[in-house]
Structure 1
Amino acid sequence: MVKIVGLSGSLRKNSYSQQALAQAAERVEALGAQMEILDVRSLDLPFCNGEGDYADYPDVKRLQNAFTQADGIILATPEYHGSVSGVLKNALDLMSFEHLDGKVAGVISVLGGQANSNALNDLRVILRWVHAWVIPEQIAIGQAWQAFDADGKLLDDKLSKRLDRFAESLVEHTQKIRGLEKVAA
């Protein structure tokens, strides 16, 4: 079975990044894959100091184990100052090749203004550096404050269909690259 882990790089209550990740997770699960979302807001993660030993922070091990055991990953980030949030970058910096190498990844960005690819491109560079495989489909949700309804569902049908294709691509490419059997949806 395909196992996907998701992580959002937002600490904000009612985060649009979390809502986008939840929408992606729902679609991945509908395709028969197993989905786990780690909520960075509830993890006690230190700032990465490059030493690699974070024994006083059991959530670092939890984060690393979840990514090690996953076949694929979804990263969702708010775009801050034209790039990835510091929270997400720090969580990724707490991991290494052993946790990310060979994983199939899907990336999502959420912006207050017009959609662009800055944070998505930066995530692609980071993930390529640790030898992850990023799917071609990516999601940028501009003007996020008007993209979701009160229940966190996407209001735009075109964007919703793109997210469907994103989930399909992530599951299909994960099966191919990781050599897994197809899931029965």
Structure 2
Amino acid sequence: MVKVVGLCGSLRPGSHAEKALLLALAAAAGAGAEVEYLDFKQLNLPFCHGGDEYPDHPDVEVLKRKVKEADALLIATPEYHGSFSGVIKNALDLMSFEELSDKVFGLVSVLGGGQNNNALNDLRTVARWVHAWVVPEQVAIGQAWKQFDAEGNLTDPKLKDRLDKLAYALVKAARMLRTTA
């Protein structure tokens, strides 16, 4: 079974990025994947200092192990100042090729303003540098503050469909890569 780990670039409780991630993870589970949300609010991760070891932060090893065991990563991030969040950048920087190479990435961004793809394009660049594979589907949710209902569901069925298609594409690509590796 394909394993998908979800990473959220927002630490704000009830964030829109987290809501989108949870919906996409549910869709990935519906596509037959084993899913896990690695909630950074529950981990004690330091700022990356460029070293290989973080003995005072055992959660770095948890992050590395869980990502290494995964076939795919589903990453949701708010767009801050025209790019993805520092939370995601720091988490990715704490890992190396050993954890990230040959992973399949699925990408989601949420924005307070209009929809654009800056954060997603920047994440694609990072994925390329760590030798990961990014599925062509991606979802940018503009004006996220008005796209979710009180239960955390998307109110626009077209956006929900796009999120579902992203999750299915991620699982399919991870299966395909896994069988050829």
Task: Give TM-score scaled by structure 1 length.
Answer: 0.96
Equivalent positions of 1:67-82 (< 5 A) are 67-82=67-82
Deviations 1:61-102 (A, max 9, x none): 000001000001111100000001011100000000000000
- Residue 161 of structure 1 aligns with an amino acid whose one-letter code is D
Aligned length: 180
- Tell me, yes or no, if structure 1 residue 97 matches structure 2 residue 94: no
Residue 52 of structure 1 deviates from its aligned partner by 1.5
- Residue 92 of structure 1 aligns with an amino acid whose one-letter code is L
State the percentage of identical aligned residues: 57
- Structure 2 match to 1:46: 46
- Structure 2 match to 1:146: 146
RMSD (Å) for aligned C-alpha atoms: 0.8
- Residue 33 of structure 1 aligns with an amino acid whose one-letter code is A
Task: Give TM-score scaled by structure 2 length.
Answer: 0.98
Determine helix, strand or coil for the equivalent of 2:80.
Answer: coil
- Structure 2 match to 1:4: 4
Equivalent positions of 1:26-175 (< 5 A) are 26-175=26-175
CA distance in 2, matches of 1:70, 1:51: 23
- Residue 148 of structure 1 aligns with an amino acid whose one-letter code is F
Deviations 1:1-51 (A, max 9, x none): 000001001011111010000000000011111000011111100000001
Runs of 4 or more above 4 Å deviation = none
Determine helix, strand or coil for the equivalent of 2:67.
Answer: helix
CA distance in 2, matches of 1:9, 1:41: 10
- Residue 34 of structure 1 aligns with an amino acid whose one-letter code is E
Residue 171 of structure 1 deviates from its aligned partner by 0.7
